A = this chain, B = another copy of it.
Amino acid sequence: MELSIVKIGGNIIDDESKLASFLDAFAAVKGKKILVHGGGKLATKVAEGLGIKQQMIDGRRITDAETLKIVTMVYAGTINKHIVAHLQARGCNAMGLTGADGNAILAHKRVHPTIDYGYVGDVDAVDASLLTSLLMLDKTLVFAPITHDRKGQLLNTNADTIAQEIARALCSTFDTSLIYSFEKSGVLLNAEDDSSVISRIDPVYYTRLKEQQVIFAGMIPKLDNAFAAVKSGVKKVIIGRAEQLPLLLEGAAGTTIVHA
């Protein structure tokens, strides 16, 4: 049975009309499906409105206790329920979840030798049995990027990682495709030219692209995540523009990551 897991980021969430088009396309996808959404600018806006300062250390945003409250409100409340209600309006029986709900995604607070990231979670386990049961009830799952440690602590968690961990947990049960949508048409040979999409990358080509510094900075963790997923048995990982979702699923747009 086919399962499509789609991750959307802030660039779609922040743009009401882009989000509406994406939800049209996502609602029309056949088979079982899971949407994982990131944050977007609303959390920053709400934090500013409430006079909560973003704590930055070495250019990284730190999830302190106040920031965690904001992201829980905005991600699990505003954004998640907005998406669920709008998928329901499109005839897609969506159900919103965080990792705390049903203990779907268990995590621990990140431990780092020098940086205290605050309430940031690294994933330990996905309850594949629960997610399979919900999918078999014909629900489309919509995950907010929040997990918990089962000790009462909610944790801010990277949405790319959540999508990948869910894909790895479910790929032995479903023919799983993982789609990372972002603001470009795919992985580009020339970062300045959106038409220079690399249609297919395997591990050997990936090493070469990194050596040539065609791929750098923020793309590296994204692609590392993608390769980890295909290595674990995810059928394919596709990176591309959310607005092109139907084409991405057909393999007619974006970059497909394959395992050797």
Supply 8 further A-B pairs (C-beta < 8 A) apart from A46-B50, A89-B150, A94-B101.
Answer: A73-B73, A77-B80, A84-B148, A85-B148, A86-B152, A88-B103, A95-B101, A97-B101
Q: A190 at interface (Cβ–Cβ under 8 A)?
A: no
Q: A137 at interface (Cβ–Cβ under 8 A)?
A: yes
Closest 9 CB pairs of A and B: A77-B77, A89-B152, A73-B77, A73-B73, A95-B102, A49-B50, A95-B101, A76-B77, A85-B100
Q: Which of B46, B75, B88, B98 is close to A148, meaning CB atoms less than 8 Å apart?
A: B88
Q: Is the contact region of chain A dominated by helix, strand, or loop, or is it mixed?
A: helix
Question: Nearest-CB distance from A181 to chain B (Å)?
Answer: 21
Could you write out 9 A-B pairs with CB less than 8 Å apart?
A49-B50, A49-B51, A73-B73, A73-B74, A76-B77, A81-B100, A85-B154, A89-B151, A96-B101
Question: Interface centre among A49, A69, A76, A153, by most B CB within 10 Å?
Answer: A76
Q: A195 at interface (Cβ–Cβ under 8 A)?
A: no
Closest B residue by C-beta to A102: B95
A151, B73: Cα distance in complex, Å: 23
Instruction: Evaluate whether A102 and B152 lie within 8 angstroms (CB atoms) in the complex, with A73-B77, A77-B76 already known.
Output: no
Q: Which residues of B contact A86 (CB under 8 A)?
A: 152
Q: Which residues of B contact A88 (CB under 8 A)?
A: 100, 103, 148, 150, 152
Contact digits for A83-116, partner B, Cβ 8 Å, 1 yes 0 no? 0111011000111111011110000000000000
Q: A72 at interface (Cβ–Cβ under 8 A)?
A: yes
Closest B residue by C-beta to A48: B50
Give the interface residue-count category, chain A: 35 or more
Question: Nearest-CB distance from A151 to chain B (Å)?
Answer: 5
Question: Nearest-CB distance from A239 to chain B (Å)?
Answer: 29
A177, B76: Cα distance in complex, Å: 30
Closest B residue by C-beta to A90: B152
Q: Which residues of B contact A82 (CB under 8 A)?
A: 72, 154
Q: A130 at interface (Cβ–Cβ under 8 A)?
A: yes
Would you call A84 and B72 a contact (CB within 8 A)? Answer: no
Instruction: Evaluate whether A152 and B85 lie within 8 angstroms (CB atoms) in the complex, with A49-B51, A77-B72 already known.
Output: yes
Q: A184 at interface (Cβ–Cβ under 8 A)?
A: no
A76, B101: Cα distance in complex, Å: 12
A104, B110: Cα distance in complex, Å: 35
Q: A231 at interface (Cβ–Cβ under 8 A)?
A: no
Q: A200 at interface (Cβ–Cβ under 8 A)?
A: no
